[in-house]
Amino acid sequence: MTTISRRRLFQLAGAGLCGRAASGWLPAFAESIAHDPNQKRHCVLLWMSGGPSQLDTFDMKPGHANGGEFKEIATNVPGLRISEHLSQLAKQADKLAIVRGLSTKEGDHGRGTYLMRTGHQPRGPVRFPAIGAALSKELGDDSDLALNFVSVSPYRAFNQAAYGPGFLGPKYAPLTVGATDNLPTTPREMPQYADLRVDDLARPANVSEQQFEKRIAMWRMLQNGFLASHHSASPIAHDTVYRRALKLMDSNISQAFDLEEESTAVRDAYGRGRFGQGCLMARRLIERGVAFVEVSLGTFDGGNIGWDTHQNNFPAVRQLSNELDAGWASLMKELDERGLLESTTILWMGEFGRTPAINDNAGRDHFPGAWTCVFGGGGIKGGQAYGKTSEDGTEVVEGKVNEADVLATLCSALGVKPDKENISEQGRPIKIAEGKSVEDILI
């Protein structure tokens, strides 16, 4: 078969030549891209703050007392069934690998968040980096001011350190968009679309371009003089943040944050809330080459902290599932249409699962013993469920994996060696992920 570049494909498509005649070589072309070691890889982490209920999403127990009130539906993969409130994802289940045998040991929000996001328990002197920081270091542009990691709408109150670069330093810290670290004390009126933006990307209207350039030149002169005699971490971090912000103002990546460029139909397909619009922003960032984007779903005005459904579990999970379904399914659909899904690995998870038994408040409590995460997109062998829990959902009976295995699998799907080491501040070599990849779900 003749080798055809991605750029040449898009040229042919623009010329109207990718019609019926292309049907024979397009699948092979897509396959070759997916296995191209030089292909730039991307990652999207869909983070579910509070701990999502596996029994009401991807590991349902119909007919059992623990099953709850939701029904399961068929997917586009025979025999694979998920919640009725994830109907759009059900149509793309051939691109998903549902890991039903996840078992961890942290049932506290703060400790569980740190564990799942770094692969380590929060103890000892080492400040472990979030997986987004570690992977963006491997996948992104190595320049000091490159934007490689963006965190959209995080709720960081459970554990601030779990979202940071740890010992990797400020160069690998995420740009944060629309953080919701404090829950609203009064119900908010939902705007037409969730307001997600990076503040102050444009210079003030009353400052001319010439004035702006003179001010920046003066700042650089003063800053360089200061740093020449101050080499500690705090001034360096401060300088990195400011210089990255200046570069971002001049880059085409800044356009990714302007969701008003999208049509109403596209924005509505993703959903008007923070998560849906965050998934749309993720697609726009990946199109512009950002290596790692995380989008959080975990705060709303419903009496719970996101998926932390100790009470009234079912109406809360129904609402959250509807947001999740629209945003996640639209993200995969549009990445696929743009030829980017085969190079973008998606991971859905939270800090733990929920108890199979329903409590006296019609809720589910914290449960790290047997729960679920989901992989999708590039590097993943979709259309399957890996692992199995017991009929009552209380224990893993097949294919048990832990947090380190999940992160190692993510690395492998992205073409990053999990055992690649970084050196901590104490001089200790630290692997990106300590676990063993789940080979059965990897291409």
Rounded to whole angstroms, how far apart are CA atoms 60 and 72? 7
Q: Is residue 287 part of a domain?
A: yes
Q: Over pLDDT 70: what percentage of the chain?
A: 80
Q: Is residue 244 part of a domain?
A: no
Look up residue 73 and give its two tokens.
């539906």
Confidence (pLDDT) at 29 = 43
333-365: b (≥16 Cβ within 10 Å) or e: bbbbeebbbbbbbbbbbbbbbbbbebeeebbbb
Q: Is residue 33 part of a domain?
A: no
Give tens-digit pLDDT for 183-201.
Answer: 654 444 455 888 887 755 6
Confidence (pLDDT) at 236 = 65
Q: Is residue 5 part of a domain?
A: no
- The mean pLDDT of 118-130, rounded to a whole number, is 95
Confidence (pLDDT) at 233 = 67
Read off φ and ψ for residue 47, nearest 5 degrees: -100, 125
Ordered DSSP codes for 250-317: HSGGGGGG-GGGS-HHHHHHH-SSHHHHHHHHHHHHHHTT-SEEEEEE---SSSSBTTB-SSSHHHHH
Q: Is residue 259 part of a domain?
A: no
Confidence (pLDDT) at 90 = 98
Give tens-digit pLDDT for 345-390.
Answer: 999 999 999 999 999 999 999 999 999 999 999 999 999 999 999 9
Confidence (pLDDT) at 223 = 75
Do residues 75 and 81 lie in contact, with contact meaning Cβ atoms separated by under 8 Å? yes
Check residues 330 and 241 and name the one with the higher pLDDT. Answer: 330
- Residue 296, pLDDT > 90, answer yes
Which whole-number Å values give the CA distances from 181 to 27, 137, 202, 297, 402, in the listed order?
44, 25, 25, 12, 28
Confidence (pLDDT) at 9 = 43
Confidence (pLDDT) at 11 = 41
Check residues 343 and 2 and name the one with the higher pLDDT. Answer: 343
Give tens-digit pLDDT for 205-231.
Answer: 676 767 767 777 777 777 777 777 776
Which neighbouring-strand residues pair with 42? 344
Structural domain that includes position 414: 38-200+264-441
Average model confidence (pLDDT) for the chain?
A: 86
Confidence (pLDDT) at 305 = 80
Write down the pTM of the prediction. 0.85
- Residue 419, pLDDT > 90, answer yes
Rounded to whole angstroms, how far apart are CA atoms 60 and 51? 16
Look up residue 443 and give its two tokens.
């291409």
Give tens-digit pLDDT for 64-103.
Answer: 999 999 999 999 999 999 999 999 999 999 999 999 999 9
Query: What is the total count of domains within the chain?
Result: 1
Rounded to whole angstroms, how far apart are CA atoms 204 and 75? 51
Mapped onto helix, strand or coil, the DSSP state of residue 428 is coil
- Residue 405, pLDDT > 80, answer yes
396-429: b (≥16 Cβ within 10 Å) or e: beebebbbbbbbbbbbbbbbbebeeebebeeeee
Q: Is residue 15 part of a domain?
A: no
Beta strand 175-177 with 149-152 is parallel
Q: Report the CATH number that the domain containing residue 59 is assigned in CATH.
A: 3.40.720.10
Q: Is residue 271 part of a domain?
A: yes
Q: Is residue 252 part of a domain?
A: no
- The mean pLDDT of 35-56, rounded to a whole number, is 88
Tokens 């990195």 appear where? Answer: 240
Which whole-number Å values give the CA distances from 316 to 50, 182, 363, in the listed order?
12, 19, 10
* Closest residue by Cα to residue 148 from 233, 280, 43: 43
